[in-house]
Structure 1
Amino acid sequence: MTEKTYTCHVVFQTHWDREWYLPFEVYRHRLTQVIDRIVDGLERKELEQFVLDGQMAALEDYLEVCEPDMEERILSLIKEKKIIIGPWYVLADEFLVSGESLIRNLEIGMKLANKYGKSQMVGYLPDTFGHVSQMPQLLKGFGIDNAIAWRGIDSDSSELIWKAPDGSQVLTVFLPEGYYQPVLNEDSFQTSMANYVEKVKGFAQTTALLLTNGGDHLMPKHGDMLGKINEISSEEIQFVSSTYEDYLHSLKAELPQDLPVYYGELRSNKHAYVLPNVLSTRSYLKQQNQLMEDELTGYTEPLLSLTTSGKYPARYLEESWKLLMKNHPHDSICGCSLDEVHREMETRSMKLGQRLESLQMEALATAGVQDAAESGSATRKPFEDNTVFTVFNPHVHSYFGTIRGTIWLKEDREFSLVDEQGQYYQPTILSKRNDRYFASPLDAFPEFTEGTFYEVLFSVEGLPATSLTTFLVAEGECRNLAIKKDSVADTDFYRINVENDGSLTLEEKRTGRTYKGLQSFYSSLDVGDEYTYSPPKHDITTFGSLKGYPIVEQSETGDISLLHYTLELNLPASCREDRLGPVEEKVKTEIQVTVMLSSHSPKIESKVKVINRAKDQRLRVRYPLGTSIEKTYSDTAFDVVERPAKKIEEFDAPKQKEVPVVVEPSLSFIRAEQNGIGIHFFHRGLQEYQVVPDVKEDILEVTMLRSVGWLSRDDLRTRGGGAGPGMETPEGQCLGTYTFDLAFEPASGCTNGNIAKSAHFYRVPPRIYPGDARGKLLSRLVEIDNGEVQWSAFYCSEGELYLRLWNPTEQEQSFQFSSGKEISAITKVRLDKSELTMLNDQNDMLASKCIATYRLQFS
């Protein structure tokens, strides 16, 4: 039998974490040293080509600080295709950021790469902790027909076909030994190269092998690297300096027809850790990120699209996207870095929030809804109160439900509200306070104005899609809340009682069904690290108990009820030094809960403030489902994924392995029901959940906090080895006060599309802004008539208006566009904005699980 002759493509690369076990600026200084060495090696012909990790942020970071001569040299090498760049802006975690963020990541990354040279057309995903189901569709939308990945893949073949739920597919290269292979840096590289080939060729379906020579933050050693390759080539194995694109070209030339096919998301830990509990590490970072994503895609871009004609802050927005995405690399958003790194992330989020608020105010001023200057022409001037205000509905669907927000008036008074059509509304006053309003116009001195701030809530029927609707404060009476000591809250939908253990008993009036034990909080020990949950041998579980007596605030008509109560957990202060069980010292963690029920919505909303004083613990909230379930659904990037309920949990892992994954990801909602019995859960930033079996029913558990003090440890029960440097991270214990927004409702026969829409409105509710939009033609710029179809972006690009839609259902969905303006043309485009087809009319069909982008033109 003739032996195969293999060709091993050696790709010189470095995997660059912007921040991880060192803070960003320290890594950047190291980056300058590494890139200087790369440039020198290429110019000396020691290297033929070098891949700069597939992300443009590293190049930008370098160009910001390098000397002019080095900038000229590196840009010259990029133009000569000696340094390979693109396609991503950063190598993001896929489960902890939105699908829209992943699209903009590719869009901006490829734009920058093509500005400096040419982007490599490779779906490079070397170190993500698992992969979302729609990644093949996203890559294909930018003309990329391949992926190179490591974690999450359970395959005995290094070549496979990966299919998204819509049928899009990419040739995928699985790296069975991972990307971290600095083989030629070793003194005994000949032996190491031979050993590497023996390991990977058993996975290969062709004679083309891949060696990703390099590793995290590593530079190639000085010396003739190309000569080293030639030194060990033989008749059986040829080593060639290559790129990922050249390797893929060789691979495609001899691929067999029957490659294994993998569908949907990839989260297997058979070959490599997927580190699943990063879904809940430092959950405050996840909250902040989702808040900023919603501010950017939910309010800022749609508001600018609705109000701006001609002048559009395109660069400002692109730089804002880049600032957001600098928090998205897996070591950043996953919360598995040094404390310094995560403090800097919070600063980025703070700065981004300031930017987006300013851009929103600019949009309103540009449209004449309000003025930034005393001398402006808008009706509303900077120091005027909210006697006239607007409500912005950014969604492409009409809104039916409650509007909640704050207005301020110069006088403390009773009032009603009236809309542009003369319809009156009686608002409920949730709270009020006397305070000072501050304004700083462009052409006047800053001043404080005394006034009363009202947190109002009122119900609307059919608030137009993509609109600014004006409301006036008029003579009339508000609805005030009556306060009483009571453990029962009651509206048209439900009757809820707070039990002594702090759980809720819910009676559903429509069906007569009762759910018990809802929204109870408990803590157990966690002696893991920032990557992985690990219980000690002698664990202890502590449930909350009611502290004091609940308070109910209810409107006169009974349509709004607020239920306030406080729980206390008497917890071990930490684990013992041997990490086998708890210390004897106890501390008290306090949980303050406000539950809101409304007759205008089936959703039960809660604001939960946790004052955490315990270390080495995991805090969860529980929802008994009233039945046993076989599966759940939760949303990820452009998909709602059906997941088997994994009820068997293991705690002891073999060496270099993880225990089987039982926690699941969720961006904004979880559907846990069987035959119409169960719970729908909505949240911001609580992205890890698990189904836990009980005697008579299953329980949905959602992780709120993980308190851990180490970046990585190598003595965990649940993972058989370290995942990074063993550094202490005391701020990862999450001591202090944290506030969470969450909601739930009993299962009601809704479809996944209906729940996705409800979750989007929960995350991005219509918002109150100061100003007067009457006569500005700012109503219903675009609307679609199918609530199963979701939207992710409504924005301008290069003077054109784009709307991105997606179908979460298993069925094809038809829908129609409409507008308050005349639509002259609708063109369906790819994600890269290349033209696909022009619609003959204002109707279209969206296939199951399909993402579609539309360019809209108006007369």
Structure 2
Amino acid sequence: MADKLTCHIVFQTHWDREWYLPFEVFRHRLAQVMDRIVSGLETGELKQFVLDGQMAALEDYFDVCEGAMKEKVLHLIEEKKIIIGPWYVLADEFLVSGESLIRNLEVGMKLAGQYGESQKVGYLPDTFGHVSQMPQLLKGFGIGNAILWRGIQARTSEFNWESPDGSRVFTAFLPEGYYQPLLNEDNVEEQMKTYVEKVTPYATTSHILLTNGGDHLMPKHGDLMGRIEDLQGEVEYISSTYEEFLASVQAEISADLPLYVGEMRSNEHIYVLPNVLSTRSYLKQQNQEMEDELTGYAEPLAVLCSKGKYPHRYLEESWKLLMQNQPHDSICGCSIDEVHREMETRTMMLKQRLESIQMGSLSHAGVQDPMFSGNGARKPFEDNSVFTVFNPHPRSFKGWVSGEIWLKEDRTFHLKDHTGKFYTPVIKNKRSGRHFASPLDAFPDFKEGTFYDVEFYVEHLPGTSLSSFRVEAGEYEELLEAKGEAVENEFYSVELSGDGTLVLVDKETRRRHAGLQRFYSSLDAGDEYNYSPPVNDVKTYAERFSSPTVRKSSGVQEMTYELKLETPAGLDETRTGPSDGSVMTTIQIKITLRAGDRKMYVAYTIDNHSKDQRLRVQYPLGGSTRYTYSDTAFDVVKRTARKEEQFHAPKQNEVPVVVEPSLSFVRSESGFTFYHRGLQEYQVTSLGEQDALDITLIRSVGWLSRDDLRTRGGGAGPSMETPEAQCIGRYTFHAAFEFTPDKGLGRVATDAHVYRVPPRIYPGETQENELTGLVEFDNEEVQWSSLRRVVDGVELRLWNPTDRVQPVTFKSHAEGIERVDFLHERLNTVENAADQLNPKEITTFLLKGGRNA
């Protein structure tokens, strides 16, 4: 280490797009901050300024600034005085998909390249922990470093961080965080001396970093460069950038830096705010629905059907709209109510957009005709006497297809595919109603008809294909009411017990699982960031309300029942126990079992009236559980079951984290698997002789942040009331569970993906030979996350969730297949349409030439 310490001062502002103020208010503030940044750079008061690594902030500013200011900013970017990129937004890493993180970097670096040059820095200063595969994601974009704060357990401010696949990035830790506007203070010398004394013990080189700025702050007016000159002494202070700091540090680091592998979720050093995993869970559900619409349906369908009219820009703008809901203070649900209402509006807009893109793709392929007088197949007012099933997965599908069709006449029918094979559908419900259509060349109108909720079992749908089915005269099955309080298939018998829980008997093992699906509520005196039970907590359990309704057919059985949950209305005035009054929350549960399917499908509809509570559903695991597995971005992580819970946090600390993240599934070591959408927080708890998996459904809290929590020793943001975070109202969540001890984790991940993105019914008819077999791969354990058109062909992204090498063989019409990085730079050619994925590897393949490629 050199004799003299160098402190790199990076002028920056951390820009939460929305948080304790709504977006438009923050945008106006951004315009004021940008005025100061530009003037400071033009007068020489500032040498350089880092715009927080988020391109969305720059786009937001350009949307409203005057043309002259935009030209000034672009000139400063060109001169590398305003530093931009690489992200589009600073997303929460655990609440969005891995593909969303890749597109975030892709869009951010593309925009930065249009305006100038992106900084090559994995800048993640404020996300609430870090996923295990982040080093691999950064390396795939040519970024070999990271700058982090939360989630780190490091003893030094420099270390190497490694993904499970072995990808490694040099990492700088911010021991005192990014919020350091010290040059804005009057007593600068004293502030700087104190800061240097705090961070120097962590340093392994002669270079330390000061991120001068903070949330939504502008630099102080005055001769800031002169202030830096006045500070010179035992420490050399220089105006710098993150790239310059990292280069200086890496020139001095030793070869034996500490190595950290995998996730970063430690709160030993600073809060990680773990219960944002369940705050406003409806937002998590909506986000996953839109991620699935984009990657699961809109993009693959456009590849299959676009015929030269692939909506590149339309889809990219859709991604940007989705990502505007994914910043850590947005998707985490820890902002004011107005922010989250606006998020729901964005979701509504995105849903409309993606539905339209899908219909447009079908029109391009001639499956539908938007013209009343056109020559295409299905006209706008024609019913679904012929309909099409889309399998979006690049692997064949076998199982149940569900959806809705409408017919002009109420009649019985069976289905026939293009080979002449007949299918007997199960009609779950039917209703009379009106079909609405608005042709491009005629007046909008309604047509009377009957709508059918249908399910039918198929033996084979080719990978990434459209398959047509015709309604023909015949007999269908209906779900008919039956006696009893149980449903079954060849795998399970499931009975509703007197206390409102389920008793499941595994017919193969004869093992009996009792007490499943118990709903309970406990008080929550926390805020949008952290759960915190009051001193005088009250736990209440849902009770059975009435006899269930059971409906059966030969292939599908369904049981619907209702529970009531009487809870305290909320907390008392001291927030130490329950209020005097009580309220009634009702929970309607629908259970579906299907022949040939080991999953038990569940829908929970909760009419919540309880404030200041945490509502959970519990599944006993039948014994002691040492660990669980759950999925995150491009990984399946083994997690030690942390059953010891603490409730008294020292000042400026959180209690140890006991809740865990999950994108799509949780699996216990005994083989119980819980699949879900949007229920992303779980915990292993003790029930005496056995453990249980507890899934958080709703957290009802009324404050953005408070400083009187038992589980966190201080505030985490402004103390502002957020009454809509109490989640009073009606919510429906979907899940499934199964007992399959012998199923591998890769196959579990595959089933979770199909659960989230099942085959879908669309109106219209297709020619089978034209819209089938775009691409298939043969390994059931390998996962896919992207299937879309890019400039040079069709991108297929695969990842290996297992600890074993996984071979893959492709079947497609492509003339050639290449491995590329995330920027689509060629790595090598795939010979003979066969390759392999190393353990935990993410790989992007480019299909070139041939039909649809």
TM-score band w.r.t. shorter chain: over 0.9
Match of 2:569 in 1: 573
Match of 2:306 in 1: 308
Contact 2:406 2:450 in 1 (8 A): yes
Contact 2:649 2:712 in 1 (8 A): yes
Contact 1:280 1:686 in 2 (8 A): yes
Alignment of 1:145-544 (within 5 A): 145-234=144-233, 236-544=234-542
Please, which of 580, 585, 589 is the counterpart of residue 581 of structure 2? 585
1:858 shift after superposition? 3.3
Match of 2:631 in 1: 635
Match of 1:832 in 2: 823
Please, which of 829, 839, 844 is the counterpart of residue 853 of structure 1? 844
Match of 1:140 in 2: 139
Match of 1:607 in 2: 603
Contact 2:819 2:846 in 1 (8 A): yes
Contact 1:278 1:335 in 2 (8 A): yes
1:485 shift after superposition? 4.6
1:3 shift after superposition? 8.3
Q: Deviations along 1:802-856, whole A, 9 cap, x unmatched? A: 000000000000010002x3x2100000011111001121000100000000110
Q: Deviations along 1:649-675, whole A, 9 cap, x unmatched? A: 00110000000000000000000133x
1:580 shift after superposition? 0.5
Please, which of 745, 759, 770 is the counterpart of residue 738 of structure 2? 745
Distance 2:418 2:84 in 1: 53
Contact 1:485 1:549 in 2 (8 A): no
Match of 1:23 in 2: 22
Q: Deviations along 1:724-748, whole A, 9 cap, x unmatched? A: 0000000000000000001100133
Distance 1:318 1:482 in 2: 46
Match of 1:61 in 2: 60
Match of 1:694 in 2: 687
1:679 shift after superposition? 1.4
Contact 2:467 2:768 in 1 (8 A): no
Alignment of 1:794-809 (within 5 A): 794-809=787-802
Contact 1:303 1:394 in 2 (8 A): yes
Contact 1:486 1:549 in 2 (8 A): no
SS in structure 2 of the partner of residue 195 of structure 1: helix
1:89 shift after superposition? 0.3
SS in structure 2 of the partner of residue 201 of structure 1: helix
Contact 1:638 1:851 in 2 (8 A): yes
Name the aligned partner's letter for residue 48 of structure 1. Answer: K
Distance 2:489 2:830 in 1: 46
Distance 1:78 1:524 in 2: 52
Distance 1:165 1:390 in 2: 41
Contact 2:468 2:768 in 1 (8 A): no
Match of 1:131 in 2: 130
Distance 1:748 1:452 in 2: 43
Structure 2 unaligned spans of 5+:
none
Q: Across the two proteins, how many residue pairs are aligned to each other?
A: 850
Q: Deviations along 1:703-722, whole A, 9 cap, x unmatched? A: 00000000000000000000
1:789 shift after superposition? 0.6
Match of 2:612 in 1: 616
Contact 1:367 1:776 in 2 (8 A): no
Name the aligned partner's letter for residue 600 of structure 1. Answer: G
2:104 paired with 1:111 = no
Distance 2:505 2:830 in 1: 49
TM-score (normalizing by structure 1): 0.98
Contact 1:459 1:600 in 2 (8 A): no
Match of 1:626 in 2: 622
1:4 shift after superposition? 2.8
1:375 shift after superposition? 2.5
Contact 2:792 2:848 in 1 (8 A): no
Match of 2:593 in 1: 597
Contact 2:88 2:108 in 1 (8 A): yes
1:114 shift after superposition? 0.6
Distance 2:488 2:76 in 1: 70
Q: Deviations along 1:131-150, whole A, 9 cap, x unmatched? A: 00000000000000000000
- Decide whether aligned partners of structure 1 residues 593 and 231 sit closer, same or farther in structure 2, where only a CA change above 3 A counts: same
Please, which of 699, 702, 713 is the counterpart of residue 720 of structure 1? 713
Please, which of 690, 699, 718 is the counterpart of residue 706 of structure 1? 699
Q: Deviations along 1:52-85, whole A, 9 cap, x unmatched? A: 0000000000000001110110110000000000
Runs of 4+ residues over 6 Å off in structure 1:
none
SS in structure 1 of the partner of residue 40 of structure 2: helix
Name the aligned partner's letter for residue 39 of structure 1. Answer: V
Match of 1:50 in 2: 49
Contact 1:427 1:458 in 2 (8 A): yes
Name the aligned partner's letter for residue 474 of structure 1. Answer: E
1:486 shift after superposition? 2.6
1:110 shift after superposition? 0.1
Name the aligned partner's letter for residue 67 of structure 1. Answer: E
Contact 1:550 1:563 in 2 (8 A): yes
Contact 2:567 2:610 in 1 (8 A): yes
1:396 shift after superposition? 1.0
Distance 2:821 2:527 in 1: 41
Distance 1:764 1:538 in 2: 43
Contact 1:306 1:781 in 2 (8 A): yes
Identity level (%): 61
Contact 1:673 1:747 in 2 (8 A): no
Contact 2:280 2:698 in 1 (8 A): yes
Name the aligned partner's letter for residue 256 of structure 1. Answer: S
1:484 shift after superposition? 3.0
1:566 shift after superposition? 0.1
Q: Deviations along 1:347-367, whole A, 9 cap, x unmatched? A: 000000000000000000000
1:376 shift after superposition? 2.4
Distance 1:214 1:499 in 2: 59
Distance 2:372 2:740 in 1: 52
Contact 2:418 2:768 in 1 (8 A): no
SS in structure 1 of the partner of residue 479 of structure 2: strand
Q: Deviations along 1:586-641, whole A, 9 cap, x unmatched? A: 10000000000111210000111000001000000000001111110000000000
Please, which of 811, 824, 835 is the counterpart of residue 818 of structure 1? 811
Q: Deviations along 1:423-454, whole A, 9 cap, x unmatched? A: 10000000000000000010011010000000
Match of 1:672 in 2: 668
Name the aligned partner's letter for residue 454 of structure 2. Answer: V
SS in structure 1 of the partner of residue 166 of structure 2: coil
SS in structure 1 of the partner of residue 824 of structure 2: coil
Structure 1 unaligned spans of 5+:
none
Contact 2:745 2:802 in 1 (8 A): yes
Distance 2:293 2:355 in 1: 8
1:749 shift after superposition? 1.1
Q: Which moved more, 1:594-603 or 1:274-283?
A: 594-603
